[in-house]
Structure 1
Amino acid sequence: MNKSNNKLLQIADTLEHINEHLVLLAIDTEHYAMALQAVQTDDAISKGVIQAVIAALFRDSLFATDASEQMNSVLSMPEMEVTQHE
């Protein structure tokens, strides 16, 4: 295997590792948001803060999921031979 193919394999492995982290981030943020939904308070300000944090967590979960789907798309592209031009 030549250097270019080795480099491509290293990049693919790194991208797969990053993708795994994105999936875990999406799951964790969604779970945190769901946990906060269980918090009960009569204080209007506290309710507003909790709702804002829940919304931000769900938004971040969607962002991480979208980024993971894009990463999957990149990782599933067909392999191509890389030639170096000097």
Structure 2
Amino acid sequence: MGLGGCIILIAAGAILTFATDWEMQGVNLDLVGVIFMIVGLIGVATFSSIAKRRRVVVPPNTPVIDEGRHPGRRDGYSDGYGA
């Protein structure tokens, strides 16, 4: 389940808990909404911790290779103007 699914669970849980007044025999919709919100929050926390581990960080001391300009080569774009 991705981040979008977790947010949908949180929203559906909030709607069931706070915005409805339905009565169902044998089902407490307030409790179902709270469970949806808790599962959504756990999913967001899990997703963010996995995404944090996957993030690639380039070391700050990586050399930058500058090819520079070739003075004899003129392709119309190397001097900043169009062709």
Q: Normalising by the residue count of structure 2, what TM-score does the alignment of the two structures yield?
A: 0.54
Q: Measure how far apart 1:50 and its partner are.
A: 0.9
Pairing 1:57–2:40 present: no
Specify every segment of 5 or more residues in structure 2 that has no aligned partner in the other structure, as ranges: 59-83
Larger relative helix fraction: 1
C-alpha distance in 2 between matches for 1:63 and 1:27? 11
Specify every segment of 5 or more residues in structure 1 that has no aligned partner in the other structure, as ranges: 1-20, 80-86
Which protein, 1 or 2, shows the higher relative CO under an 8 Å CA cutoff with sep ≥ 6? 1
Pairing 1:28–2:12 present: no
Deviations 1:28-56, CA, capped at 9 Å, x for gaps:
10111122121114x5966x711210111
Moved over 2 A (4+): 43-46
Identity of aligned residues (%): 9
Aligned counterpart, 1:74:
53
C-alpha distance in 2 between matches for 1:56 and 1:77? 34
**Greater C-alpha Rg:** 2
How many residues end up aligned between the 2 structures? 57
Change beyond 3 A, Cα 1:22–1:40: same
Q: Normalising by the residue count of structure 1, what TM-score does the alignment of the two structures yield?
A: 0.53
> Cα RMSD over matched residues?
2.5
Aligned counterpart, 1:82:
none
C-alpha distance in 1 between matches for 2:30 and 2:21? 11
